[in-house]
Amino acid sequence: MPLLSADLTHFGNNLADASMLYPQQFKDIASLEKSAVAVSEISCWPNYQATPLHSLNNLAGQLDLDQIWYKDESQRFGLKSFKALGGAYAVAIQLRQRIFETVGQAASIEDLLGDKYDSIIKDIVISCATDGNHGRSVSWGCQMFGCRCIIYIHRDVSRARQQAIQELGAKVIRIDGNYDASVKQADQDATSNERIIVSDTSYAGYMEIPRDVALGYTVMLAEAVLQMKQSVPTHVFIQAGVGGLAAAVCAYFWELWGQKRPRFIIVEPVNANCLQQSARAGKPVVVEGDLETLMAGLSCGEVSLLAWDILSSGANDFMTIGEDAVASCMRLLANGEPAIEAGESAVAGIAAMIAACGDKQMAETLGLNASSRVFVIGTEGATDPELYQQLVNA
């Protein structure tokens, strides 16, 4: 068992009152009703199947916890990431809107997968910035539905992740800057060239599409709830970049379980902790600099405004983990029972949980004990196979 350290920012009921029901105004962002629509649509996509929910019984015993559930997204749609659900779903919604604006008819998912509106769709250009996985999902959605795609990546995105996007037919533009700079460049170029931005982060003047991306993510949560067979977790450790996934998980479980909802702990790399710093400041804070981390999918310095709306009310705690946690937790899962393929960004929740259980004071603060049932999401598999092998075999 690796000995890991973490930094905890605890707010308790000052930040999130467990007795508070899901606020009505948040249902404009995410709701169980809207999630059910996403589940209905995505389950019709070719090769859809629910991903596994593993019970990590051996690890739970070692940490003196009752249960650890690990939602394994390492093979989702062959893209090896939960993000396959969000970007492609938002692409489908944008194409439908453009079709309706053009011909005044509502297109079904069967229409998009067929050739009924190919003459309209083929000239539409979708674009976004990415650390890798979101851009791969958007590119895959564009390929599946037949529109064009331009993806922006920053200087630290690996060549393997760039190639994976290009293999899906997208044009890739690499900029000399960090993730936040690539978001700004993609938005600027989209305005100049009449492209549709499908981003997983929201900012002033851009709110609607990230909601659709987050709704796609809730498909895996609906699967997990069925797989847990009426059990309710006591804790959720969830990794965050801009916060879109974390907000989706928080909102879904909050509305579903109300006062029984689990304690919600946000986990970030120590060098890219925009949510933790925002929580400390009580308002969104931008983390400047290179944001360098092995957890490439979490290398974000600016929180999504939509995510902050939910997390500033619904999250209980904010943790950061160091780079030393990444490879050791990847190896732990790869050599476990069952053996799990977990990429660099997938292990943040597991790492934070292990670190908290190994620190008596932190465990007490978080209420982790022999009756705790912990839910984590393994958000990606080996999205950079060469790097994965290097880290697991180190």
Q: Quick one: which H or E segment has residue 388?
A: helix 385-392
Task: Provide the β-strand partners of residue 375.
Answer: 69, 236
- Based on the residue annotation, tell me whether 131 is a catalytic residue of this protein: yes
Helix (H) or strand (E) holding 153: strand 148-153
Known catalytic residue at 324: no
Amino acid in the structure at residue 363: A
CA angle in degrees (0–180, nearest 5) for 221-224-229: 135
Selecting among 72, 131, 187, 212, the annotated active-site residue is 131
Of 83, 180, 187, 200, catalytic = 83
Dist. CA 31–CA 255, nearest whole Å: 7
Q: Which of 143, 148, 145, 84 is nearest to 109 (CA)?
A: 145
| Other CB atoms within 10 A of residue 327 CB | 18
Q: Please write down the long-range contacts of 24-27, taking CB distance under 8 Å and 24 or more positions apart.
A: 26/251, 26/255, 26/309, 26/310, 26/313, 27/255
**Catalytic residue ranges:** 83, 131
